[in-house]
Amino acid sequence: MTRKITFLLAAILSLVCCAIAQIPSARDVVKPAAFASFDPVARGRQLDIAVVMKIKDGFHVNARKTTFDYLIPTDLKAEPIEGFKSGAVNYPKGTLHKFSFAKDQALNVYTDTVVLFVPVTVDASAPLGERHLALKLRYQACNNEVCLPPVTLPVDAVIHVGSGESRPSHPELFGKP
């Protein structure tokens, strides 16, 4: 009898461990990358930084405008850097999805790939060369069964400041000039 109970407890513990192992870290659910609309960008010019959020299959993050006040919205902040001024982030609309844990109400979420845009003005006196604009992306990832703890990821936006003309970059994100 004791052997059967021990075996049963070992089997249950094994299943629990496997279930926990399948839940990724919140940091691994979204892979952000930043891209500049000009490379290089001339002093005195405005450019956009696109932050592309690739969201793991089977997961979603709350959109900027959440369905309920208690939900944690996606948030992107730019750290101040000398010679640059960042503007208000342009967040896309989310899409409404129904989940088993929110039976009667569809939630406004981001899935798959989402692009956030940050306008940045380069001062006329900005230093030439490569500059790094530090961004912080905060989100809460969930699947149909569990919400992971909110997480803030650093995102590095590389901006090349040149003395000549600005050259458009990444037309797949910003369109043709």
Residue 6 inside a domain? The answer is no
CA–CA dist 16, 77 (Å, integer): 38
User: What's the pTM?
Assistant: 0.85
- The SS3 of residue 164 is coil
Residue 31 lies inside a defined structural domain of this protein: yes
Confidence (pLDDT) at 3:
53
Task: DSSP letter for 81, please.
Answer: B
Alpha carbon 24 to its chain centroid, in Å, reads 16
Q: Which CATH number fits the domain that encloses residue 58?
A: 2.60.40.1250
In a domain, 151, yes or no: yes
162, two tokens: 């040149």
Supply the pLDDT for residue 103. 74
- Residues 87 and 76 sit within 8 Å (Cβ to Cβ): no
124 vs 66: CA distance, rounded Å = 38
pLDDT for the residue numbered 89: 98
In a domain, 127, yes or no: yes
Q: Is 49 inside any structural domain? A: yes
Q: Which structural domain, as residue segments, surrounds residue 142?
A: 25-169
Q: What does the radius of gyration of the chain's CA atoms come to, in whole angstroms?
A: 22
> Which regions in the chain score pLDDT beneath 70?
1-22, 177
**pLDDT tens track for 62-107:** 999 998 898 999 999 999 999 999 999 999 999 998 877 777 888 9
- The pLDDT of residue 7 is 41
Geometric angle at alpha carbon 64, from 63 and 68, rounded to 5°: 75
